[in-house]
Amino acid sequence: MRTNELISALVQDQAMRRWRLEGVLLCGLAIGGGMTALGFLAGLGLRPDLESAVMTLRVLLKLVVSLGLLVVCAGLTLRLARPGVPVGGWRWGAPALALLLAGAVAAELLATPPASWSARMMGQNALFCLALIPALAAGPLACLLLALRQGAPIRPGLSGALAGLAAGGMGAAFYALHCIDDSPLFLVVWYGLGIGFVALLGAVLGRYWLRW
């Protein structure tokens, strides 16, 4: 086929998506978030002492880090879904979160006796957390990947991984409303593993599903 013949065919296909990518992605996030909220309320529910707990620094940190991860990674995926658009200020999101976490871990280590560190890290419901964060993140991950298919991610694996991190952040934010293990040590290890698993899944799915 000659190139000008291809162009003749292309110009006759007038179908074009009219939704802005931002809208599609936000819609995916909202639907995914709804799925997570439903699953959370049906299966888990809020921790009984949430009202007082949410004012403590440790619980606040869990929420801030999870929601921060959600926002930063959703922003990054949006940038990466448009070819040729620079990442811009979003690139500082991940280091900022890492810095915040490192500071929190350091503070925890300084504030608590070394003998208690291992108990704080292991918490009470580690395996529960490990299983539930990915379960809560599954809906948002599927919705985000579906939304990203409308874009043109130049690096499908990376975009999939970031979608996984955003979905993991969403799952973790909800799970944090239930979870009673509040130490930053627990957060880094078990939330980290749970979210990391979702990111890995997103990367694998993205490599195949986000090609265009």
Name the site residues for other proteins (rule: CB under 8 A). Answer: 1-19, 21, 81-85, 150-152, 154, 207-208, 211-212
Residues near 9 by beta carbon (within 8 Å), at least 6 away in sequence: none
CA distance 49 to 51: 6
> Least distance (Å) from other proteins to the CB of residue 149?
11
The answer to whether 134 touches 180, Cβ cutoff 8 Å, is no
On whether the CB atoms of residues 144 and 94 are closer than 8 A, the answer is no
Cβ closest to other proteins, residue 159 vs residue 183: 159
Q: C-beta of 157: minimal distance to other proteins in Å?
A: 11
Q: Which CB, 68 or 156, lies closer to other proteins?
A: 156
Q: Which is nearer to other proteins, 117 or 209 (CB)?
A: 209
Nearer to other proteins among residue 17 and residue 52 (C-beta): 17
| Cβ-based neighbours of 70, under 8 Å, separated by 6 or more | 166, 169, 170, 173
Tell me the closest approach of the beta carbon of residue 11 to other proteins, in angstroms. 5
Q: Which is nearer to other proteins, 47 or 207 (CB)?
A: 207
End-to-end CA distance of the chain: 21
Q: At closest approach, how far in Å is the CB of 100 from other proteins?
A: 31
- Token reading at 148: 């990203």
Please return the burial class of 148, using the count of CB atoms within 10 Å of its CB with bins 0-12, 13-18 and 19+. Answer: buried
CB 145 → other proteins: shortest distance, Å? 15
**Ramachandran class of 16: left when φ > 0, alpha when ψ lies in -120 to 50, beta otherwise:** beta
